[in-house]
Structures are given as C-alpha cells and as structure tokens.
C-alpha cells in the first residue's frame, strides 16, 4: 500500500500529541496516512505494553489511520545504528510516503530527539540504491520521501510553519483520550507523571489555540523543517 504521509513516533501517543489534528485533517482531505511507533512505551510509569497496544489501535481507528505498525525497539534504550535504520528503511520503502512526520528534534524525553534523528537519517539512507533491503524475500526499491517535518512535543520549540487545524482539535483530543492509562483521569490510582496532570491535558488545546491565535485561526499545530519551507505561489500562504 502506498501512503501519502507516514508518521513516526518513539512511543504510541507521540504522533497523536504532536500532530493528531493535522493527521485528522489530511485524512479528511483524502490523504492516506500511516503511523509507525518505534517502541511499545513499555517503560512508561503508567499502563503496560499490552494496554498501550490496545490504546494505540483504538486511537488509530478514531483518526482513520490506514495502517499502524510497531517496530518494537527498546523503549528508552534504542540507538541510532545500522540495524535500527534498516528496520525503518524497510517501512519507508514499503509505504513510499511523500511526507514523513517524526518526533521533535529536541525534547524532555531522550527518545524523542533520538527518534527524530534516527528517522531523519533513515529517510535519507532509504533513497540510496545500493542499500539492499527485502521483505519476505522480495527486494525493495529505494525511496526517499520529499520532505521530513518534525512535530513539537513537550518543549516549546518555535515552529518553522504551522497548520490551521480548526475543526480537528476535538478528534485529536478524542484520539489522545484513547490512551486512558497515560493521561488525566481523576479516578486513576496510578502514580502521577508529567503527562498525567490536568494541566498537560489542557495544554493540548491551549497550545493549539495560542498557535492559532498567532495566525488568526482558531487552532493550529506547529512543525519544524529540515530545509526551507517552499510554496509554489504566494497565494498558498494563509
């Protein structure tokens, strides 16, 4: 299956938190979007790998994701090496996306910056013909996505561009709330974490509102780019 957009996240819920509304909007516009989670988030203080598997597939249904896979790298400890790059290259060549979204370039959780660089490097390497990969004994053609963009996570990184996601914030919050074990729930007895507070949950909408305010729309999500953001006409800018 060919996808228009492939979204990578170090942990299940990274994609939703960073770009959930943009994903929902692109799908509503007819784009095919997939998510590849690098780990099962098994070191998370709350929940378990099994619970998070279930939550991730529930969220994928809410967003209308075409395909969601998990590479089962080691949460907290995966590294940017040849073996992990090849695993990601195989997915890029399998789904041939034009656009890749991945983790924030720098963040509080060490997996986010690591995952960001790992996916970026794999996107470049995936375009090299002499790197041979195969799936089920069939060799894959090289494929390099046209662009790689990084969503914004815990830290307030200044975006290079923002996407108007007005009308799609509710579905984003619904997808995030599919991760019942992770986020604010007044009846939960599980230990508190930085992301389980009411403030963090509220930040999903107030940050989007603030980015929206700055571009005169209701809600927006921000991204950083690895090269200049280009448009074919000035009219493409809102």
11 versus 40: smaller Cβ distance to Zn ion: 11
- Dihedral sign (CA 228, 232, 234, 236): negative
11 versus 25: smaller Cβ distance to Zn ion: 11
Least distance from C-beta 69 to Zn ion, angstroms?
Answer: 17
Least distance from C-beta 148 to Zn ion, angstroms?
Answer: 18
End-to-end CA distance of the chain: 32
94 versus 112: smaller Cβ distance to Zn ion: 112
Of the candidates 171, 137, 214, the residue with the CA atom closest to the CA atom of residue 33: 171
Q: For 150-161, what is the HEC assignment?
A: EECCCCCCCCCE
- Which range, of 8-16, 62-70, 74-82, 179-187, touches Zn ion by CB under 5 A? 8-16
Q: How far apart are CA 182 and CA 46, in angstroms?
A: 6
Q: How far apart are CA 108 and CA 54, in angstroms?
A: 25
Residue 130, Cβ density class (10 Å: 0-12 exposed, 13-18 middle, ≥19 buried): exposed
Least distance from C-beta 44 to Zn ion, angstroms?
Answer: 9
Residue position matching structure tokens 């992990």:
84
By CB under 5 A, how many residues form the interface with Zn ion? 3
10 versus 27: smaller Cβ distance to Zn ion: 10
- Which range, of 5-13, 26-34, 71-79, 134-142, touches Zn ion by CB under 5 A? 5-13
- Which range, of 7-15, 178-186, 216-224, 228-236, touches Zn ion by CB under 5 A? 7-15
4 versus 14: smaller Cβ distance to Zn ion: 14
Reduced to 3 states (helix: H, G, I; strand: E, B; else coil), residue 175 is helix
Question: Is the separation of the CB atoms in 126 and 144 below 8 Å?
Answer: yes
Least distance from C-beta 26 to Zn ion, angstroms?
Answer: 21
Question: Is the separation of the CB atoms in 40 and 49 below 8 Å?
Answer: yes
Least distance from C-beta 236 to Zn ion, angstroms?
Answer: 32
Site for Zn ion in 9-38 (CB under 5 A): 10-11, 14
Write down how long the chain is. Answer: 238
- Which range, of 6-14, 47-55, 165-173, 176-184, touches Zn ion by CB under 5 A? 6-14
What mask of x and - would describe binding to Zn ion in positions 134 to 163, judged by CB under 5 A?
------------------------------
10 versus 62: smaller Cβ distance to Zn ion: 10
Neighbours of 108 (CB within 10 A): 12
Least distance from C-beta 223 to Zn ion, angstroms?
Answer: 16
Reduced to 3 states (helix: H, G, I; strand: E, B; else coil), residue 223 is strand
The site for Zn ion (CB under 5 A) is made up of 10-11, 14
């Amino acid at each position: 299956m060919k996808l228009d957009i492939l979204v990578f996240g170090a942990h299940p819920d990274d994609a939703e938190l960073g770009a959930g509304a943009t994903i929902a909007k692109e799908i509503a516009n007819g784009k095919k979007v997939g998510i590849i989670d690098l780990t099962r988030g098994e070191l998370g203080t709350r929940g378990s790998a099994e619970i998070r598997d279930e939550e991730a597939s529930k969220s994928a249904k809410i967003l209308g994701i075409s395909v969601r896979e998990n590479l089962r790298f080691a949460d907290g400890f995966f590294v940017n090496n040849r073996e992990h790059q090849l695993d990601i290259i195989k997915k890029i060549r399998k789904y041939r996306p034009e656009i890749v979204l991945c983790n924030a370039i720098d963040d509080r959780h060490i997996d986010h910056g690591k995952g960001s660089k790992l996916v970026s490097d794999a996107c470049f390497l995936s375009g090299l013909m002499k790197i041979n990969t195969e799936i089920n004994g069939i060799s894959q053609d090289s494929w390099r996505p046209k662009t790689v963009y990084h969503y914004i996570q815990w830290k307030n990184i200044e975006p290079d561009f923002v996407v108007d996601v007005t009308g799609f914030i509710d579905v984003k919050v619904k997808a995030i709330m599919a991760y019942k074990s992770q986020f604010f729930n007044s009846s939960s007895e599980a230990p508190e974490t930085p992301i389980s507070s009411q403030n963090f949950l509220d930040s999903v909408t107030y940050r989007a509102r603030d980015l929206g305010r700055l571009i005169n729309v209701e809600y927006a999500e921000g991204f950083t780019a690895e090269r200049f953001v280009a448009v074919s006409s000035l009219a493409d800018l809102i």
